[in-house]
């Protein structure tokens, strides 16, 4: 019953406690059914766990929502950024010419100047060096450039996204621009087509052009164009110019350490140039070597070797006297071929070996005696019988002074001008045996003193020229007139303006070493005046001939007999006169010259092979310490000519002249400059080792004539016209010249003296 009652009662106790109390029943907390409480409790517990999981889910959903929204907006921004970038590209691209019209601009033409035997003298032009094929240059050069500048060059399509991103991150972190993301293709595009301005427009155009280059050309072609055009500092464009500039060698012969130095310059060519900062250039080259090792371009052994043997830098920029020749050639070139539109090769007349010998001689003499004798500059010009310049040194050091003293500096030649005075006198009828009284004379307010104040009395013209007697030269100028002397000098090759006065006898009018030397050439080649030239031929790199000197013909400017007499007289200068230091195993002749106070010292001499002129002095015209033409100039001439004639068959000087023995000479009836008794007359026999005293006239021996052999000089291919007795450009009658015979006395008035006639 109880159980049934309990079972009946249980369902009725569902109301609140108040209801149960009103029914007469009471229940405490223990009387409640436990399972019911457990179920409620159980229901409540799961509800708590579900709430926790729901919170975590809401947190996750919130985090994903943030990233989702961020991703969404980034995507949106990327789309709009892409649209904006495309718009910018289209805008700036539209401002460029049509892609179908794009073409690689011509490289600045290079002018390669080579010596007569094919050795490189210099490169001239904007590039400063010839183009070198990728397969021709040292393989270290492209490897070094790629390793340090664009290591993914062969894998990207003209733009390197990885390199660009890396550069952007580095620049943002660093807070300043320290790295560039441009590829070699982009750099080439900039160099070929664009300005260096850092603008958005230029950058966009650079990218478009880089893509075009990659489409039109292979990687090797792009790399070759880049290496032949990029700037390496110190005026060098392209690897060939840079290799010549910094190492004095071709890009074909560059070593690993030298290639690393060149590649390192590309970051900052002017700042890192070894000519400016050798230490910075070396440090940068070591970074390049390390990059090459990281890329597997070189082995550890090669790295160690290159690190321990750094690049050897050339001593100076464009050093070498051959650059004086190159500068002169560059001035002449436009008149021969016009504008240079492509790479050309200029075959010069210069012998580079002789050029080096001449330079060494000039520098050695100045180094040895410069301070002691107060001489700082020198010049040398050597010309063969055809007019080809074989060597020309324009100063002590080209790298410190590019002023060419050989072709540009006009200086007083002093007594080196006297041959034209004597030539005019011979053309007027005098001979080497003609007598003059060497004594103090006065012409107006001018007194032409001899060097050292020494006078010899009665002398022949041959002796007067050999001993460079000023008073005799002045007398001859008065006799023939200054105009005749000026005309003779211009006819022989002097181009400068000459003052037509009596003092011209002593070389007071200024000339250049080049023109003075060229004016002696007719004495050496038999009387012909060739065109003086430095260029034999000009060709393109493909071999097309643009200019060829072709030899040509030269006019006769002096008669053979005059040439013979002049050569006989000037031989005495070398054998018994003021230029004895110049003598060597070849028959030679010439004339020394020294201007007032030893400001200029000259010797111009010649053989049948070469005519060479040498000058020493100072740019500011300050006097040297008693330096004469027979000292330093004659020594330099001797050194050069001995080397130039080594192994060359000996040839006599051209021309024939028969000398009359002194005991049969009847002197010209020219009044003495003083009333003193005549001094003993030296022998007129020029070419002997010493002068012999005059024999008494009473002995009257049978005349014995010394005959100089005739020699025909063809000037190494120069066409010499047949002599028909005419002398080109002579504007006054030439007397026959009675050799050794008396002349009718000429009355000289004071007007003649004052007027220089």
SS3 646: coil
d(CA 393, CA 412): 19
For the cut 70, the answer to whether the pLDDT of residue 77 exceeds it is yes
Once rounded to an integer, what is the mean pLDDT over residues 520-541? Answer: 96
Q: What is the pLDDT of residue 97?
A: 60
Write down the mean pLDDT value for the chain.
Answer: 79
For the cut 70, the answer to whether the pLDDT of residue 681 exceeds it is no
Give the range among 29-33, 486-490, 714-718 with minimum mean pLDDT: 714-718
Q: Return the structure tokens found at 87.
A: 């718009």
Give the strand order in the sheet containing 610-617: 389-393, 377-384, 610-617, 600-606, 589-594
Q: How confident is the model at residue 49 (pLDDT cuts 50, 70, 90)?
A: low
Give the range among 68-77, 387-396, 676-685 with minimum mean pLDDT: 676-685
Q: Are residues 521 and 385 in contact, defined by beta-carbon separation less than 8 angstroms?
A: yes
For the cut 90, the answer to whether the pLDDT of residue 413 exceeds it is yes
Surface-to-core class of residue 243, CB atoms within 10 Å of its CB (0-12 exposed, 13-18 middle, 19+ buried) = buried
Q: How confident is the model at residue 63 (pLDDT cuts 50, 70, 90)?
A: low
Q: How many Cα atoms occupy the beta-carbon half-sphere of 349 within 13 Å?
A: 25
Burial 21-30 (b: 16+ CB within 10 A, else e): eeeeeeeeee
Give the range among 107-121, 137-151, 713-727 with minimum mean pLDDT: 713-727
Q: How confident is the model at residue 273 (pLDDT cuts 50, 70, 90)?
A: confident
Paired strand residues for 613: 381, 604
Q: Are residues 388 and 347 in contact, defined by beta-carbon separation less than 8 angstroms?
A: no
Q: What is the pLDDT of residue 112?
A: 93
The larger pLDDT score, comparing residue 555 to residue 671, is at: 555
Once rounded to an integer, what is the mean pLDDT over residues 559-572? Answer: 94
- The residue count for the chain: 757
The larger pLDDT score, comparing residue 381 to residue 166, is at: 381
d(CA 93, CA 202): 10
Q: How confident is the model at residue 83 (pLDDT cuts 50, 70, 90)?
A: confident
Q: How confident is the model at residue 38 (pLDDT cuts 50, 70, 90)?
A: very low
d(CA 385, CA 746): 38
Q: How confident is the model at residue 180 (pLDDT cuts 50, 70, 90)?
A: low
The pair phi, psi for residue 528, each rounded to 5°, is -105, 145
> Which tens digit of pLDDT belongs to each residue from 336-355?
988 888 889 999 999 999 99
d(CA 163, CA 206): 16
The pair phi, psi for residue 455, each rounded to 5°, is -125, 150
The secondary structure element, H or E, covering residue 382 is strand 377-384
d(CA 394, CA 398): 8
The larger pLDDT score, comparing residue 17 to residue 232, is at: 232
- From the list 433, 381, 329, the residue with the least C-alpha distance to 602 is 381
CA of 435: how far to CAs of 96, 444, 458, 740, in Å? Answer: 86, 23, 6, 9
In the chain, % of residues over pLDDT 90: 51
What count of other Cβ atoms lies within 10 Å of the Cβ of residue 490? 17
The rounded Cα 124 to chain-centroid distance in angstroms is: 7
> Which tens digit of pLDDT belongs to each residue from 611-665?
999 999 999 999 999 999 999 999 999 999 999 999 999 999 998 787 665 544 4
The rounded Cα 285 to chain-centroid distance in angstroms is: 26
> Which tens digit of pLDDT belongs to each residue from 356-390?
999 999 999 999 999 999 999 999 999 999 999 99
For the cut 60, the answer to whether the pLDDT of residue 4 exceeds it is no
SS3 539: strand
Where helices occur in 95-218 by DSSP H, the ranges are: 140-149, 161-174, 184-193, 200-216
Pairing of strands 535-540, 589-594: unpaired
d(CA 155, CA 163): 12
Q: How confident is the model at residue 24 (pLDDT cuts 50, 70, 90)?
A: very low
Once rounded to an integer, what is the mean pLDDT over residues 26-36? Answer: 47
For the cut 50, the answer to whether the pLDDT of residue 739 exceeds it is no
Q: What is the pLDDT of residue 402?
A: 87
What count of other Cβ atoms lies within 10 Å of the Cβ of residue 448? 20
- From the list 662, 743, 644, the residue with the least C-alpha distance to 699 is 662
Burial 87-102 (b: 16+ CB within 10 A, else e): eeeeebeeeeeeeeeb
Give the range among 48-57, 354-363, 594-603 with minimum mean pLDDT: 48-57
The contacts of residue 579 (CB under 8 Å, 6+ apart) are: 573, 590, 591, 592, 603, 605, 629, 630, 634, 637
For the cut 70, the answer to whether the pLDDT of residue 720 exceeds it is no
The larger pLDDT score, comparing residue 260 to residue 68, is at: 260
CA angle (543 as vertex; 541, 549 as ends), nearest 5: 110
Q: Are residues 578 and 630 in contact, defined by beta-carbon separation less than 8 angstroms?
A: yes
Q: Are residues 431 and 739 in contact, defined by beta-carbon separation less than 8 angstroms?
A: yes
For the cut 80, the answer to whether the pLDDT of residue 64 exceeds it is no
Burial 416-427 (b: 16+ CB within 10 A, else e): bbbbbbbbbbbb
For the cut 60, the answer to whether the pLDDT of residue 545 exceeds it is yes
SS3 547: strand
d(CA 357, CA 282): 34
Q: Are residues 492 and 417 in contact, defined by beta-carbon separation less than 8 angstroms?
A: no
d(CA 89, CA 138): 39
d(CA 232, CA 263): 9
Q: What is the pLDDT of residue 56?
A: 57
Q: Are residues 435 and 741 in contact, defined by beta-carbon separation less than 8 angstroms?
A: no
In the chain, % of residues over pLDDT 70: 73
- Indicate which residues carry an active-site annotation: 149, 415
Surface-to-core class of residue 326, CB atoms within 10 Å of its CB (0-12 exposed, 13-18 middle, 19+ buried) = buried
Once rounded to an integer, what is the mean pLDDT over residues 118-134? Answer: 85
The secondary structure element, H or E, covering residue 226 is helix 219-229
For the cut 60, the answer to whether the pLDDT of residue 52 exceeds it is no
Once rounded to an integer, what is the mean pLDDT over residues 514-535? Answer: 96
Q: What is the pLDDT of residue 750?
A: 36
Give the range among 50-64, 211-225, 627-641, 688-702 with minimum mean pLDDT: 688-702
The pair phi, psi for residue 109, each rounded to 5°, is -65, 145
The larger pLDDT score, comparing residue 430 to residue 271, is at: 430
- From the list 300, 266, 11, 309, the residue with the least C-alpha distance to 145 is 266
Does the pTM of the predicted model rise above 0.85? no
SS3 460: strand
The larger pLDDT score, comparing residue 567 to residue 402, is at: 567
């Amino acid at each position: 019953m109880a159980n049934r009652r309990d079972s009946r009662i249980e369902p009725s106790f569902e109301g609140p406690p108040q209801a149960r109390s009103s029914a007469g029943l009471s229940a405490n907390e223990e009387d409640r059914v436990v399972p019911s409480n457990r179920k409620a409790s159980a229901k409540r517990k799961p509800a708590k766990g579900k709430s926790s999981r729901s919170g975590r889910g809401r947190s996750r959903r919130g985090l994903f929502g943030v990233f989702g929204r961020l991703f969404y907006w980034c995507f949106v921004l990327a789309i709009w950024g892409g649209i904006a970038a495309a718009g910018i590209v289209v805008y700036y691209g539209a401002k460029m010419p049509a892609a179908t019209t794009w073409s690689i601009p011509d490289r600045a033409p290079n002018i390669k100047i080579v010596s007569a035997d094919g050795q490189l003298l210099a490169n001239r032009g904007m590039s400063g060096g010839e183009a070198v094929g990728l397969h021709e240059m040292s393989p270290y050069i492209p490897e070094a450039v790629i390793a340090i500048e664009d290591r993914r060059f062969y894998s990207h399509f003209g733009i390197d996204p990885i390199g660009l991103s890396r550069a952007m991150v580095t620049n943002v972190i660093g807070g300043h621009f320290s790295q560039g993301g441009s590829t070699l293709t982009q750099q080439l595009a900039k160099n070929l087509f664009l300005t260096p301005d850092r603008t958005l427009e230029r950058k966009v155009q650079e990218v478009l052009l880089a893509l075009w280059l990659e489409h039109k050309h292979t990687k090797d072609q792009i790399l070759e164009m880049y290496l032949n055009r990029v700037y390496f500092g110190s005026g060098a464009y392209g690897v060939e110019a840079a290799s010549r500039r910094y190492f004095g060698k071709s890009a074909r012969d560059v070593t690993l350490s030298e290639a690393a130095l060149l590649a390192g310059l590309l970051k900052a060519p002017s700042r890192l140039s070894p000519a400016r900062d050798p230490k910075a250039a070396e440090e940068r080259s070591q970074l390049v070597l390390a990059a090459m090792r990281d890329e597997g371009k070189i082995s550890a052994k090669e790295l160690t070797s290159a690190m321990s043997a750094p690049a050897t830098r050339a001593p100076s920029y464009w050093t070498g006297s051959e650059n004086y020749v190159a500068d002169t050639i560059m001035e002449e070139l436009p008149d021969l071929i016009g504008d240079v539109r492509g790479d050309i090769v200029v075959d010069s007349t210069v012998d580079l070996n002789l050029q080096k010998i001449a330079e060494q001689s000039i520098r050695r003499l100045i180094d040895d005696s410069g301070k002691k004798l107060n001489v700082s500059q020198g010049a040398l010009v050597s010309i063969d019988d055809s007019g080809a310049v074989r060597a020309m040194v324009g100063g002590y050091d080209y790298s410190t002074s590019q002023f060419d003293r050989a072709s540009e500096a006009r200086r007083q030649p002093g007594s080196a001008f006297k041959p034209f005075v004597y030539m005019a006198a011979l053309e007027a009828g005098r001979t080497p045996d003609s007598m003059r009284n060497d004594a103090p004379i006065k012409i107006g307010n001018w007194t032409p003193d001899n060097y050292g104040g020494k006078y010899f009395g009665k002398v022949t013209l041959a002796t007067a020229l050999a001993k460079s007697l000023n008073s005799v030269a002045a007398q001859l100028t008065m006799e023939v007139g200054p105009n005749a002397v000026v005309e003779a000098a211009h006819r022989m090759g002097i181009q400068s303006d000459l003052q037509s006065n009596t003092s011209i006898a002593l070389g007071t009018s200024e000339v250049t070493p080049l023109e003075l030397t060229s004016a002696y050439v007719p004495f050496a080649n038999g009387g012909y005046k060739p065109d003086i030239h430095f260029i034999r031929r000009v060709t393109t790199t493909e071999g097309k001939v643009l200019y060829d000197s072709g030899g040509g013909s030269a006019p006769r400017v002096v008669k053979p007999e005059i040439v013979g007499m002049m050569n006989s007289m000037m031989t005495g200068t070398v054998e018994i006169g003021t230029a004895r230091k110049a003598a060597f195993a070849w028959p030679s002749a010439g004339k020394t010259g020294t201007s007032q106070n030893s400001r200029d010292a000259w010797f111009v001499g010649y053989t049948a092979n070469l005519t060479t002129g040498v000058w020493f002095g100072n740019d500011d015209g300050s006097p040297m310490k008693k330096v004469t033409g027979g000292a330093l100039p004659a020594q330099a001439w001797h050194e050069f000519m001995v080397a130039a004639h080594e192994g060359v068959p000996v040839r006599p000087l051209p021309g024939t002249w028969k000398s009359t023995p002194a005991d049969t000479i009847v002197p010209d009836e020219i009044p003495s400059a003083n009333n003193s008794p005549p001094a003993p007359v030296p022998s007129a026999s020029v070419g002997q080792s010493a002068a012999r005293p005059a024999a008494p006239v009473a002995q009257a021996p049978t005349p014995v004539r010394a005959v100089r052999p005739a020699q025909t000089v063809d000037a190494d291919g120069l066409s010499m016209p047949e002599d028909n007795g005419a002398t080109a450009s002579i504007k006054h009658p030439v007397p026959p010249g009675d050799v050794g015979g008396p002349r009718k006395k000429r009355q000289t008035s004071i007007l003649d003296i004052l007027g220089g006639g």
